[in-house]
Amino acid sequence: MALIDDIQQCVELRMPEQMPIFCMSQEFDARYCGMTYARYCSAAENIVRAQLEAINSFGWDWAWVELDGVLEFEPLGVATAARDENSPLQVSRWLDLTKQTVSGLRIPRAPGSPRMRVLLDALSALRDDRGDGTCITGRVSAPFSAVVGLFGIQAVVEALRGAPALLRDAIAFCRDYAVEWGKTQKDAGAHAVWVSDLRASTATLPAQLYEQWALEPCKAVCAGLKAAGLLVFLHTGENTIEGLRLQAGAEPSVLSVGHGIDLARVKNDLGRQVALMGNLDPVGLLAQSSASLVASETDRLVRLMAGGGMILNSGGPVPRKAKSPNMHTMHDTGRKVWDLAHGRR
């Protein structure tokens, strides 16, 4: 069975022949290959070299081409900057959330910006090299997180209170933009899209507001991307059952679980409703702990996953300072325990 078939089995809540193993390791990958993060993001050939080296060294079943959460906002007029050469870019100047600004927003013609071209070229080269043997994964921002990225949290909060119609128009644009940007990545070679909605977790957006403002637009994005033939991995960094229940309603292919909640609890609550991925602690375990503790927690998680419908992953982005032995241990233990659980040698 091919990898993409294994992932599809998980999506359908079935048992794959081999459990996919992912890791949100881009910043670590750049350091492992001797690059600053700025250099890694600067050229498609750098991304491809680092991703292939990490896949060959650690055995990951995906190439996660996330780069940062702001690159699709740049052609719309948002300014970006990095804190330092090893940090992803962040917004340095937002747009004004006004009727004139929102009515003037247009989905840019692909690729939209030089950095979007870099991402698309990296996806194409990785797909050419790996074929269907690795899940080539691009990224979009979910609509609610996108409006925060475009206009800033303060402007969005004010619009929630005083200009709801304007905010809905902005969210509708971001919904359509996310689907088109995802389709462009599909055309470039992506099998999957990572839908990032960090601003919609219950840590930042109360459940009632999530249902009112974020759920349906995110569900529309997931549906549009799936209709285009993409796998959809939704990540909010959520660490509560209440939040994960709500986010499962967006109907992604797979729901990513934050590292701050016991995956056994999530499986018991949602495991028959939606495929899950997670949720090894990227900092406390992969960066700061010992290989033996990584092995113990990976063992526990994979035994939870033995019935299928789940993918092993970190529960958040892995920092540059993560330990190589811990990364090897995560993958190798995952493979070993899966094979033992299913009687393979």
- In this prediction, residue 42 carries a pLDDT of 97
Q: What is the total count of domains within the chain?
A: 1
Q: Is the pLDDT of residue 343 over 90?
A: no
CA gap 76, 149 in Å, rounded:
11
Mean local confidence (pLDDT), 181-192: 98
pLDDT in tens, 62-89: 999 999 999 999 999 999 999 999 999 9
Question: Count of CB atoms within 10 A of residue 319's CB?
Answer: 16
In the prediction, which pLDDT does 48 show?
98
- Closest by CA to 306, choosing from 273, 339, 278, 270, is 339
Closest CA to 117 of 53, 191, 41: 41
Confidence band of 37 (pLDDT split at 50, 70, 90): very high
C-beta separation of 142 from 221 below 8 A: yes
* CATH code of the domain containing 205: 3.20.20.210
Picking from 181, 172, 173, 257, the residue whose alpha carbon sits closest to that of residue 225 is: 181
Q: What is the pLDDT of residue 301?
A: 98
Which pLDDT score is estimated for 1? Answer: 58
Q: Enter the pTM of the model.
A: 0.97
Q: What are phi and psi of 314, to 5 degrees?
A: -70, 160
Both structure tokens of 15: 């048992």
* Structural domain for 140, as ranges: 3-341
